[in-house]
Structure 1
Amino acid sequence: MEIWAHRGASARQPENTIAAFTAAMEAGADGVELDVQLTSDGVPVVIHDEKVDRTHDGTGWVSGFTLDQLQKLRSLLKPKADPMLTRIPTLAEVLDLLAAGSQRINIELKNSVKPYKGLEGKVLGLVHQRGLGARVVLSSFNHYSLQRLRERGWTGELAAVHDGMLREPWRYFRELDVQAVHPPRHVLMVPGFVTRAHRAGFLVRVWTVNKAVQRQRCLRLGVDGIFTDVMKPGPNW
């Protein structure tokens, strides 16, 4: 079972920052997961929430800030690190860092609240410029966005993120032309979910798995990967 660092090693460093991704690489993660949105001047940046209020010392929508304005905000999250390593990074900066490693890279397009016109093309351009297509998984809650990625020529792995108790969703996922599904861990309560997903040809990666009992259940059920904040588990993990 693969271990994917959720927003980087976010239990050790502020999420979705250079510090968190560096920590994930140092911890030996199999993959890293990150979220991408667009600034008001059209630059892809790595941040989860559509607003900056929870993570940084500002207020308002990510889409309301220019890149320069965003990168002047300071992280509110602990533990603390060099401000340059915990500011909101661009996707280009994060990909340049990760290119030096071997980890798989899950880029989640955060465009189910804000539509972010052109986000798909900009993400694909940055991935292709760095020759990272074989290592990248593109995912989104916005399944129209997954369709647009295919229409723009993406032949790599796509993953459908969902947060619900869907009944027999395999035909729908096939129509989406995805290779993986990324469900929340409560989906594991559905008897046979992982087995049926595998029979239908899909990988299953579950979010967010931070406790030993959750991880052990994922192992027993044959889950392909987990997204976790905890990259250096204790002896009972």
Structure 2
Amino acid sequence: MEIWAHRGASARQPENTIAAFTAAMEAGADGVELDVQLTSDGVPVVIHDETVDRTHDGTGGVSGFTLAQLQKLRSLIKPKGDPMATRIPSLVEVLDLLASGGQQINIELKNSVKPYKGLEKKVLDLVAERKLGDRVVLSSFNHYSLQRLRERGWTGELAAVHDGMLREPWRYFRELDVQAVHPPRHVLMVPGFVTRAHRAGFKVRVWTVNKATHRQRCERLGVDGIFTDLVKARPNW
């Protein structure tokens, strides 16, 4: 079962920051997960929330800031240390860091609340420029966005993020042309979900798994991967 660092090693460092991704690489995570949105000047940046209020010392939507303005904000979570490592990074900065490692990279397009025009093309261009296509999984709650990624020529892995409460979703996922499904942890309570997903040809990666008992259940059920905040150095997963 693969261990994916959710927003980097986010229990140890501020989420979705260079510090968090560095910690995940050092811990030997199989993959890292990150979230991408667009600034007002059209730059893909790595942050989960549509606003900066929870994680940084500012107020307002990500799309209301330029990149330069965003990167002047300081982290509210574990703010000590190098401020460059805990500011809101651009996708370019994160990809350049991760390119030096061997981790798989899950880029989640955060466009289900705010429809960032052109986000798909910008992400695809950056991945292609760095020749990371064979290590990248593109995912989103916005399944129209997944369709646009295919239409723009993405031949790599796509993953449908969903809330898990879908009845017999396999035909729908086939039509989406995805290779993986990313449901929440409570989907494990649905009898046979993982088995049926595998029979239909889909990988299953579950979010967010932080308790040992939940991790063990994922292992027993044959889940392909988990997204976790609690990335530890091997072999002590």
Q: Deviations over 1:124-172 (max 9, x none)?
A: 0000000000000000000000000000000000000001411110000
| Preserved contact between residue 5 and residue 31 of structure 1 (Cα < 8 Å) | yes
CA contact (8 A) 1:13 1:81 kept: no
Q: Is the 8 A contact 2:110 2:140 kept in 1?
A: yes
The residue that corresponds to 1:220 in the other structure is 220
- 1:7 maps to which residue? 7
The match for 1:190 is: 190
State the Cα deviation string for residues 178-236 of structure 1 (Å, max 9, x = none): 00000000000000000000000000000000010000000000000000000117999
Distance 1:5 1:236 in 2: 15
User: Partners of 1:236 and 1:188 in 2: how far apart?
Assistant: 24
Query: Per the alignment, do residues 24 and 128 of structure 1 end up closer, same or farther by CA in structure 2, a change over 3 Å counting?
Result: same
Q: Which runs of 5+ in 1 are unaligned?
A: none
Unaligned runs of 5+ in 2: none
| 91-100 vs 76-85, greater mean Cα deviation | 76-85
Partner of 1:46: 46
Partner Cα distance (1:63, 1:48) in 2: 13
In structure 2, distance between residues paired with 1:204 and 1:6: 15
After superposition, residues 25-36 of structure 1 pair within 5 angstroms as: 25-36=25-36
Distance, in Å, in 2 between the alignment partners of 1:166 and 1:79 is 40
Give me the whole-angstrom Cα distance separating, in 2, the residues matched to 1:21 and 1:53.
21
Indicate if the aligned counterparts of 1:19 and 1:81 stay in contact, CA closer than 8 A: no
DSSP-derived class of the 1:45 partner: strand
Alpha-carbon distance between aligned partners in 1 of 2:81 and 2:19, rounded to the nearest angstrom: 7
Q: Report the Cα offset of residue 81 of structure 1.
A: 2.8
SS of residue paired to 1:125: helix
TM-score by length of 1: 0.98
Give structure 1 regions of 4+ aligned residues with deviation exceeding 4 angstroms: 233-237
How far has the Cα of 1:77 moved from its partner? 0.7
Q: State the superposition RMSD in angstroms.
A: 1.4
CA contact (8 A) 1:14 1:80 kept: no
Q: Is the alpha carbon distance of 1:173 and 1:75 closer, same or farther for their aligned partners in structure 2, counting shifts above 3 Å?
A: same
- Superposition pairs for residues 97-136 of structure 1, below 5 Å? 97-136=97-136
